[in-house]
Amino acid sequence: MNLTVPLSIQHLTKVYQTENGYVEALHDINFMVNPGEFVSIVGSSGCGKSTLLRIIVGLENNFQGNILLGDDLIKGTNVNRGMVFQEARLFPWLTVEQNIDFGLVNKYTKKEKKEIVETHIALVGLHGFAQSYPYQLSGGMQQRVSIARALVNNPKILTLDEPFGALDALTRIQMQQEILRIWEQEKTTMLLVTHDVDEAIYLADRVILLSSRPGTIKKIIPVNLPRPRDRSSYDFMRIKRIIYKELFDQDTAFLDYAI
């Protein structure tokens, strides 16, 4: 079990310099993710969702404000923060086992590394595929390898940047169920960026809604629904209405058919 600590985002503002001047991507973002919580971030394209994740894992610098993981100020990358991208980004010349091993820090012996890798192969449901190469795996299986590689150092927080966006609808639902299983087993704090409102509600304890650029927090919506969640239930659709209304300021009567 991963003993997690809170993530605190304090007055975060990010400005990019371009050829045409300055562009503010994020403006005065403030929120906290509790230990072991699953939080989804939803917003339109270009609102700064992915930028926010990249800042949290240390891939973006030169921002205003503070990000704290527990009592530690985040500066640069660290194995305490893992990230899963939309594409699996595996090394095609390495096997599943080698791709996962590649993400491990060098403090372990060869035997310890092998045991850790085997544990994470089992965790993501890829037993029997340790010696397979990426081209021999489906898209969903490749993402499982990516998730295992991100978890292999037992990070305090795992960020996921639309990890299922490139998958077909059925595989996507299957992977949502898998990430929930892993989250419930490992108790790792998870922060997911998605365009899929159903996905956000199905997975998260809370959904953070970002405005159009510059991204600001429009609303944080708790999802107080028991798991496993019924996507067609009245309460699920009620939350969906709230999110659509906040994001698009539009009539949500078109959702009534689903209730």
Would the CA dihedral through 160, 230, 255, 241 be positive or negative? Answer: negative
d(CA 234, CA 124): 32
Q: What is the DSSP letter of 68?
A: E
Tell which CATH classification among 3.40.50.300, 3.40.50.720, 1.20.1740.10, 3.40.50.920 matches the domain 7-80+156-258: 3.40.50.300
Specify the pLDDT at position 5. 81
Residue 144, pLDDT score: 95
Quote the CA–CA distance of 122 and 72 in Å, as a whole number: 32
pTM here? 0.90
**For position 1, what pLDDT does the model report?**
47
**Tokens of residue 156, six digits:** 């305090």
3-class DSSP assignment, residue 14: strand
Residue-range domain boundaries for the chain: 7-80+156-258, 87-154
Structural Rg of the chain based on CA atoms = 19
Query: What are the average pLDDT values for consecutive 10-residue runs of the chain, which has 259 residues?
Result: 78 90 94 96 91 93 91 87 92 96 85 94 95 96 95 94 92 94 94 96 97 93 95 96 85 49
